[in-house]
Each structure stands twice: as C-alpha cells, then as structure tokens.
Chain A
Amino acid sequence: MTTLHPKTLYEKVWADHLVVAETDATPAVLYIDLHLIHEVTTPQAFSLLRQEKLAVRRPDLTLGTMDHSTPTTPVRTFKDLAVVGEGAANQVLQMQKNCKEFGVELLDFGSDSRGIVHVIGPELGATQPGKTIVCGDSHTSTHGAFGALAFGIGTTEVGHVLATQCLLQRQAKTFAINVRGALRPGVTAKDLILAIIGQVGVDGGTGHVIEYRGSAIEKMDMEGRMTVCNMSIEAGAKAGMIAPDEVTINYLQDKPRSPSGDAWAQAVQRWLALRGDQDAHFDKQVTIDGGELTPMVTFGTNPGMVMPVSDTVPDHNGDNSFRKALDYMRITPGMPISELPVDVVFIGSCTNSRISDLQEAANVMRGRKIASGVRMLVVPGSQQVKREAEALGLDRIFVDAGAEWRESGCSMCLGMNGDTVPSGKLSVSTSNRNFEGRQGIGARTILASPMTAAASAVEGHVADPRPYLETS
C-alpha cells in the first residue's frame, strides 16, 4: 500500500516531536526525550541557568555520568582525581555540585552503572526507539542504532535543553546507505563504517541524517549497529539511524529502564511499527556490497583516509592535505600498511568498548602475548561491561597477554584524562578519530576493529586479524 506522503524513519521521529513546526522565518521547536550530560560540556550551561535563575525543566529526562576527563585507574577520592590535573578534578567536582543542586541523577564514581555516556544509555535501556536523544557530544549518533533520533549539540544548546527540554532545529536532508549481502568472517561493523566513511568522505553526510539499511545491517547485532551509527558524525552526518526490529526488542527486554508489564507490550507494538514507508524519498542514496569488504584501517589523519589492512598505502599526488597527513603519520605511499611497527594498542571508546568488542579481541589474544615493546590498554565502556567481562574471564586473557585492564571511561580516545599516547608513537586504536594529536600531542593513530587491534598487539605491527580466526 502506498501512503500519500511517504516518510522516512527520520521524518517520522522528527514529526512526532514537533512542538512548533518550522516556517521560513523560524526553526522548529523540537522536544527532547532524553538528555544525557557529562562533565566536560555542561559546566558553562549550568552557570547560565544559575545566572538566569532557571531550573532544569525535566530532571527526570536528564541523566548524568562522568567519562571524559576522569581517570581509568581506580578512583574513589579527590586525591586520585587530582592526579589527572586540577582542571579535571575541578570539572568533576563541579559536575557533582551541579547535578545535586539541580536535582539531576548522576551516575557518580561509586555507581555500578557509571560508564561512557553512549554505552550506559543503551545498556540501562534509557535509549529506546522513537526517542529524541541529545548530549553535548558528537558521538550521540550512537543511539540512532535503536531507531532514535540522536545527535550531538554544543554547550549553549545543552543550556536550552536543560531549561526548556526543547531545541530550535531545521529539518535535515535524508541519506540512505544500503548495505547488501553479509559481512565475511573477520569483517566487523567497524570495518563496514570505516569503508562507508572512506567511500562517502568525511563531509559526505553534512546536512543529512543517514539511515543504514539492507541485509548486512539487519543481520547485525545491536552492539555492531551502535558501532556503525556511532561514526556517522565522522562522515559529517547530523545523525545515523537504523529501524528497530526483533534484534532491537530482544536487546531492550528486561533492561533496567525499559518499560515493563503492559507498558512493555505497548512499547514493542509502537517500536515495531516505527519504520520508513517503502516508497519514501531520500535526498541521497549509496549502496555498498558488504560481502566484498575486508578488514579496514585508517592511514591518515581523518577517518575518511581508509584502506584494507592487506593493501599498500595509496597516493594522491598534488593533494596538499593528503601529503600533510602522510607526513604527520610518517607513512609513505606504496608501503604495505602491515609493515608499520606498533607502539600502543587501545581497545575502548564509545565506538568499540562493549562486551562483544572485548570478546572479539580476547578471542584473538587467548593464550598469546603482546609483542615486546607494545603497550596495550583495554578499557571497558562501562562498569557493567567490566563486570561482565570479568565474569567471562576476559580480563585474565588480556592481563596474561601483558595488557592493562582498566576502569571504564573515554580513556585514550581523546587524551584528556591521563591516558595518552606519547609523541611520535604509533597507536592502533578501536576509537573513532585519528586526528592529529587526538590521543596525545604528536600521537599517530590508526583506527581499526577490536580484532585488528588485538592482532596488531600480538604481532607488534599493523596486522590482518583473519589468520587468527581458525585458531581462536
């Protein structure tokens, strides 16, 4: 059956949250169902509320955690915090004070539920299909894996949501990315999203909301879908979304903040009905054959500079930004990327720190040691992921291999919490950004899947994980 005005998934969630529709002169007033906050991008917003004598309008729709500037060594006291620096310690104290004063729930250091903001939302069941979700963090796109409209905002907008539970927004354009076929063994959601960014470019999604569709996406578990949606922003997109299905429902069932009883049945009915109309129009479309992909790594200083791990580094003569990136990375066109020696391996971040990520890495590392001279950090995405991993004995596999096993947090993804890659050192990282200096001043970052990162730790150079599949 065709509908009169067929809508995409994004257009449906958008329409469902319009308090006031947009006009030529004014943007729409969009209602926000879940506001996640953390210590780095909120202090100035709370200062504004104090200055204007405003309350947090819906503390019940606001949830705070601490992840960015917090250390991943065990922290219980102010003295531990001060190790990372006075600024970070002050920021954490400010977060505690702000949440207390404005009545916002904070998953503090002592909380069993604390973790990276984009890991805890889904694992608590606070992230749900059809919701609008924002956070002062660009990787908020992660939550789109559930069919939520989720995007990163600046601190001024954090203030807007705290005060009014709404944002002023223009409707974005739509972009369908269809992934046909099935990913082959050793090829993960991370490899897929790196390949997508490589194809559409780091600005290919600017002004658009992406919807990922097709059989490879349908076959993917929720953690893989989160990895894909997480990096939508690295293609410049406002958000990334995937229509909810049985996989989504199964994931959310019995989560602490999922609806229960009759409310669960009603929610499931509503969630399963939430999908784009068959004949909905997209402003842009791309189709990718998932079955043709191999494990991918980055070789430059943005997430669009990607290549298969088994290939030689490409060349773009005459492109100054390309040349500058390769100079920074100390990589020469034509060299096999696997010849690159590795100093640091980081497994963690909101992209790849969930239990399946840790399992995939542990499967490669079981019974093996990391190469001499390599430092490896494994940082679970939340305290819950940490407990689950320990119950499965994954921590022992990593520690026995010579890696460090940490408390949850953003850690080495962004070098502002004490975990950094030293200048000039090469890091293979499961995080999302290989920008210059992102992991520390002068750090050289190769983005990869957890399996590729683990294989690289074992071999001491950038390595294809596929040879480890049969033995693991």
Chain B
Amino acid sequence: MKAVRHLKSCTVVLPSSDIDTDQIIPARFLTTTSREGLGKNLFHDWRFNPDGSPIAAFPLNQTLAKGCEILVAGRNFGCGSSREHAPWALLDFGLRAVISTEIADIFRSNALKNGFLPIVIDEKAHSYLLDNPGVQVSIDVENLRLTLPDGLQVSFPIENFARYCLLEGIDQLGFLQKHETAIRKFEETRPWKP
C-alpha cells in the first residue's frame, strides 16, 4: 500500500443515503480474479443507460466532476455486501476518499486496507459539502483534519493503527506475521481445539 498523508481535491457529490456496495459495483462484475479494471463499471447502473450511453445527469458523468478525487455521499455509505471490489472500483476510477456522516463497518475496513480514505464528519460540515459540489477541500491524515474552502477545519476519526499504516504505507499482513510466536503459543496452549 502506498502512503497517504494528504489529499487536496475538488468534491463530487452523491447525496443519497444508504448507498450500498451493490450500487458501487454490481455483483455481475465480481466474476473477476483481479483487483484491476473495476473502475469502468463503478456505479454502473447509475452511470449508464441500458444501451451503454452515459446518463448525463449523474454527478460522476458531469464536467464538474472531472479530476475530482473526493466523493461526498449521504449517510451510511458502503452498506451491504463485504465485497472489497467496492474500494477497488472507486480507486480504479480515480477516487481516493469518501466523506459522509456514517460509513458502514466492512466497507470502512476494506477501504483503509487499500489507502482509500473513509472520512466521517459532523452533520453541519457534511450538509455544507452536500450543498456545494465541486468545492476544494483538503484532508490531513496525520492530524485527522478536513479543511473546508473557508479555512474552517473539522476533525474526523481514523483508528490509530490504520492511521499509522496510511501514513507509513504499511501493509497489515507484515505486522500480523511478526506475531507468529504468539500465534503458535496460543494454538498450543488454548484449553480446547477447534
């Protein structure tokens, strides 16, 4: 995983609440054995008409969204299926963070393991971002601060270890493997065996 310390970008807004991972990447695109190439089908059924032409009104298809790396979404983003294809598709499309007032647990965990930032902020700042698509914001992972265009800073939580991994670009598997001795001891000494 590459280190992520700062992110400054314009925003693209999807105001719906409860955007589930089936919308982010429909199940029929999960018949892949790779992590790459999912971006073209991101939000497929919201982005494209049945004939494959883009739906002009969908925010990600608009000129304003070009180059924007930060998604602002309604409450409870990423609910539903555990598919890690959701953050893979968002990253492959060119997005690097989502801002909401609540983000579903499994999506958040998957996102952090891929350097995609799940940013949960208070309702007031969120409501400003929902109402003002395209504004420039910056995210400071080290200090857990989001800076709005007027300079106002709001804080967001990221669990300490996940934050450390983001800042240093550390893969969590390596950290787990360092516990091999403890894992073996646990296996040998536990009172019952699975």
Residues of A at under 8 Å CB distance from B? 19-20, 24-27, 29, 31, 33-34, 40-41, 43-44, 47-48, 52, 61, 68-69, 85, 87-88, 90-91, 94, 128, 131, 136-138, 152-157, 159-160, 163-168, 170, 202-203, 206-207, 233, 236, 238, 266-267, 270, 302, 304, 320-321, 324, 414-416, 423, 433, 435-438, 441-442
Assess the B176–A29 pair: CB atoms within 8 A: yes
Cα(A196)–Cα(B141), bound, Å: 37
Partner of B179, one of A90, A166, A423: A166
Name the residue of chain A whose CB is nearest to the CB of B81. A138
Cα(A138)–Cα(B159), bound, Å: 22
Partner of A154, one of B18, B26, B110, B187: B110
Assess the A31–B104 pair: CB atoms within 8 A: no
Contacts of B50 in A (CB 8 A): 423, 441-442
Name the residue of chain A whose CB is nearest to the CB of B109. A154
Cα(A88)–Cα(B31), bound, Å: 5
- With A168-B172, A236-B76, A414-B27: A203-B194 Cβ-Cβ less than 8 Å: no
Partner of A433, one of B22, B161, B192: B22
- By Cβ-Cβ distance, the 5 closest A-B pairs, closest first, are A87-B31, A33-B194, A43-B33, A154-B110, A154-B84
Cα(A291)–Cα(B135), bound, Å: 52
How far, in Å, is A14 (CB) from chain B's closest CB? 14
Q: Does B63 contact A (CB under 8 A)?
A: no
Contacts of A138 in B (CB 8 A): 80-82, 106
Contacts of A160 in B (CB 8 A): 172-173, 176
Q: Does B64 contact A (CB under 8 A)?
A: no
**Most A-side CB within 10 Å, residue of B27, B102, B177, B187:** B27
Contacts of B114 in A (CB 8 A): 156
Cα(A47)–Cα(B32), bound, Å: 12
Assess the A416–B183 pair: CB atoms within 8 A: no
Partner of A31, one of B22, B28, B109, B186: B186
Q: Does B53 contact A (CB under 8 A)?
A: no
Contacts of A416 in B (CB 8 A): 27-28, 30-31
Partner of A40, one of B31, B74, B173, B175: B31
Contacts of A233 in B (CB 8 A): 80, 106
Assess the A152–B82 pair: CB atoms within 8 A: yes
Q: Does B20 contact A (CB under 8 A)?
A: yes
Contacts of A154 in B (CB 8 A): 82-84, 106, 109-110, 113
Contacts of B34 in A (CB 8 A): 43-44, 47
How far, in Å, is B142 (CB) from chain A's closest CB? 15
Partner of B82, one of A94, A137, A167, A438: A137
Partner of B17, one of A25, A155, A321, A438: A321
Partner of B160, one of A20, A25, A267, A415: A25
How far, in Å, is A169 (CB) from chain B's closest CB? 9
- With A29-B182, A321-B17: A41-B80 Cβ-Cβ less than 8 Å: no
Q: Does B35 contact A (CB under 8 A)?
A: yes
Assess the A156–B113 pair: CB atoms within 8 A: yes
Name the residue of chain A whose CB is nearest to the CB of B1. A156
Partner of A163, one of B110, B161, B176: B176
**Most A-side CB within 10 Å, residue of B31, B35, B80:** B31
Q: Does B132 contact A (CB under 8 A)?
A: no
12 residue pairs from A and B, CB less than 8 Å apart: A20-B179, A20-B182, A43-B34, A44-B33, A136-B82, A156-B173, A160-B176, A236-B79, A238-B105, A415-B28, A433-B20, A437-B26
Assess the A321–B183 pair: CB atoms within 8 A: no
How far, in Å, is B120 (CB) from chain A's closest CB? 10
- With A157-B113, A206-B76, A437-B22: A415-B27 Cβ-Cβ less than 8 Å: yes
Partner of B161, one of A40, A136, A168, A415: A168
Cα(A40)–Cα(B34), bound, Å: 11
Q: Does B45 contact A (CB under 8 A)?
A: yes
Name the residue of chain A whose CB is nearest to the CB of B87. A154
Q: Contacts A26-B175, A435-B20 known; list 12 others, CB within 8 Å.
A: A44-B33, A88-B31, A90-B33, A152-B106, A155-B84, A155-B110, A156-B114, A156-B172, A164-B180, A267-B192, A433-B22, A436-B45
Contacts of B159 in A (CB 8 A): 27, 170
Name the residue of chain B whose CB is nearest to the CB of A270. B192
